[in-house]
Structure 1
Amino acid sequence: MADIKRILENLRNSDLEIREEGLKQIREFDKKLSHRDIQILLEASIEEFPDLRWDFNNSKHEIIQLLTKYISDEHIPLVVDAFPNYDGLTKSQALQLLGQLESQKAARTLLQLLDLSASELEFKFGSGYLVHGQPHHADIFFPDLLNYLDIEPLVGHILGLCLKCFENGLLDPGQLDSDSGKLIRLCESYREQVRHMEKDEDHKWIWEDEYLSIRGDFAILIDLFGYFNHPEVDRELAIAAEADDPKIRMFAIISRLRKGKKVDVSELTPIAAYSETRMWLYKMLLSLDKVALYPLEYFSQEAFAESEMVDWLSFGTELGKVPDEIELMKVFELDVGTTAGKILYYLYRFRTFPPHWAAKDGWMAGVSGPFIKSDEPSPDSYGETFSTFKAWQSLTPEEHLRDIQEILNRWRSRHNKLN
């Protein structure tokens, strides 16, 4: 395997194929690095490298990504020295480097650098939170991070970390009440944006880019309100509990329950009826010991399996929305010889309507599961919910299941090899 200096020489080379080899080498690098090696990488990370084959690949970003495996507190001064020379995306990556270190020094340095660069930051889709892993040093990060809620790329990172700190007991309910005005203003801003959006009864508006750009952060904010006691927060939760989006309604109701408010079962029925929110509603009610409120008409393995399938499909890298139609085609009951006993796979066909990009493909196949038969009904699936987006009529039901399982097995084998 090439050493760091050779990899950097390859990334600087005028020959595209050699640069692509350097990209492959840096992604596969797994040797130990000395303090000097890390210094060399950080010095190189401020360079302008020749382009790689694809625009979404960038040598300096790959260098920072490699450093996530090796960075420690002793390297913080090197990061600080390099930081002013970075572009917005690389600055974001450098802050994430610090965010993965669970030390007071790293947390304080992150805040100092954030204050110098907040308006410049950019985050790649799927790059993870500003602070990785288990939340830590809530006493350092909060309430200071709430001062950056007007910086759009940071909102999801701040809200997500704050919620994790409450959920893990690093912040006590009501502890940040004096700063609730900042969150209320953000919520009012989201409500005002939604108010001007065209809506339809079958929720298609939810999956338009205009609303999707704020939906995730809006939902986290409403979830977070369950840990605030300010009267204006209660007002916002009451408004959100009547929102047109079932996901926002769900988090509003869960937050009210967390705060000890009474909720009628009738408020939960439309949320359980909507396949995207169904299983999450049940799981959250279970976590609050309020599962008795869950509507019985949606308490079945088939209902949970459909919700699992739809939740997977609605992810941004898949369909990016709930399918317009979904039908259960077959249930496979298999005995795989484990102590868990028999398992269940649910095979669906689904389709979208124009103008969605997948509408031209008609009915496609997807598998939800596996679910342990002895646990049913349960929303807990065990990691093989998937779709290849193959045409339904191209294979038999049995072939669709086998095809998806083979692809997942190949992916796991490759993943294990790389790690």
Structure 2
Amino acid sequence: MKTILISVFVLILFAGAILLGAYYYLRWRLQRMITLKYAVVGPLIRKLAARESVTRTEILFMAKDPSLRHAVYRVLEAYNQSDLFPVEFFTIEKGAESFLVTWLEFPTELGQAPHEIELYTTVALEELEDQTYYVFKYRMTGNHWATENNWMLGVAGPYGDESMPYDIPRRIFSRFYSLDRISAKGEVQWVHENI
């Protein structure tokens, strides 16, 4: 009996060490991602705080990157400068893309932004009047575990008639399923029912 208790105790300690290590590793990855993003957006924040002029070209450079886009919009909004945000990126599609990319970047998901992403389709569920989900296809290239799936589906929404482009969607998710595995409507239905 004593041997069993010692074995269980050692097993619990071992599992705890693994979980603790995983926690610190994910925390380090998340902190690294935040630091890299701040390195790009930080100068904009400092300029706005110092009431220095900001050019539309500076904003456009950042708004082109979907992983930075909604953060840039929120910074401009906080400083009452949202009119500087590029009109071509002030759409629900571009906002939904930005939220999905940010979600995919988390260490518990892809761990980085997808190398390619584009709107695949929009899906309106019959039970949701005037509510639309945006379905994107994205893929990874190079040496990444997700390259074997080729194009995968990701969902953001639902957005209604009253939604603004950078309203936070209630549901953002991807199961990393490839296009040939599930339909866009099937993925939206699953996300709507489970997330």
TM-score (normalised: structure 2): 0.83
* Equivalent residue runs for 1:13-412 within 5 Å: 14=5, 19=8, 49-52=9-12, 55-57=14-16, 124-125=23-24, 214-216=32-34, 218=35, 247-334=38-125, 342-376=130-164, 378-408=165-195
- CA change 1:336–1:379 in 2 (3 A) is farther
Cα deviation digits, residues 354-387 of structure 1 (max 9, x gap) = 21111112111110122233123x2113331000
The 3 A distance-change label for structure 1 pair 404 and 214 is closer
Query: How far apart in 2 are the matches of 1:332 and 1:401?
Result: 7
Q: Percent identity?
A: 26
Deviation for aligned residue 1:123: 9.2
Whether the 8 Å contact between 2:119 and 2:134 is mirrored in structure 1 is yes
Distance 1:374 1:334, change over 3 A: farther
Equivalent residue letter for 1:316: P
Note the C-alpha offset of 1:215.
Answer: 4.6
The one-letter amino acid of 1:375's match is: S
Partner Cα separation in structure 1 for residue 147 and residue 26 of structure 2:
29
Shift of 1:278: 0.6
Partners of 2:156 and 2:103 in 1: how far apart? 9
> Quick one: higher RCO (CA 8 Å, sep 6+), 1 or 2?
2
In structure 2, runs of 5+ residues without a counterpart are: none
Matched to 2:179, the amino acid is W
In structure 2, relative to structure 1, the CA distance for the partners of 1:336 and 1:363 (3 Å cut) is same
Which secondary structure state, in structure 2, belongs to the residue aligned with residue 394 of structure 1?
A: coil
The structure in which a higher percent of residues are helix is: 1
TM-score (normalizing by structure 1): 0.41
Unaligned residue ranges in structure 1 (runs of 5+): 1-11, 20-48, 62-88, 90-121, 129-152, 154-208, 220-245, 409-419
Give the counterpart letter for 2:159 in structure 1: F
Q: CA deviation at 1:57?
A: 2.8
Q: 1:215 to 1:315 in 2, by over 3 A?
A: closer
**Mapped contact 1:247–1:277 kept (Cα < 8 A):** no
Equivalent residue letter for 1:345: Y
CA positional deviation for 1:389: 0.7
Indicate if the aligned counterparts of 1:331 and 1:347 stay in contact, CA closer than 8 A.
yes
How far did 1:405 drift? 2.8
By how many angstroms is 1:349 displaced?
1.3
Classify the secondary structure of the residue corresponding to 1:385. Answer: strand
User: 1:127 & 1:352 partners in 2: Cα distance?
Assistant: 20
C-alpha deviation, 1:397, in angstroms: 1.6
Q: Who is 1:100 aligned against?
A: none
1:15 CA displacement = 7.6
Query: Across the two proteins, how many residue pairs are aligned to each other?
Result: 192
Root mean square deviation of aligned Cα? 3.1
- Kindly state the Cα deviation for residue 335 of structure 1 after the two structures are TM-superposed: 6.7
Opposite residue 258 of structure 1, the aligned amino acid is A
- Preserved contact between residue 247 and residue 271 of structure 1 (Cα < 8 Å): no
- Could you say what secondary structure the match of 2:16 adopts? coil
Aligned mates of 1:55, 1:296 — CA distance in 2: 54
Counterpart CA distance in 2 for 1:213 and 1:311 is 14
- The structural deviation recorded for 1:347 is 0.7
Deviation at 1:250, TM superposition (A): 1.7
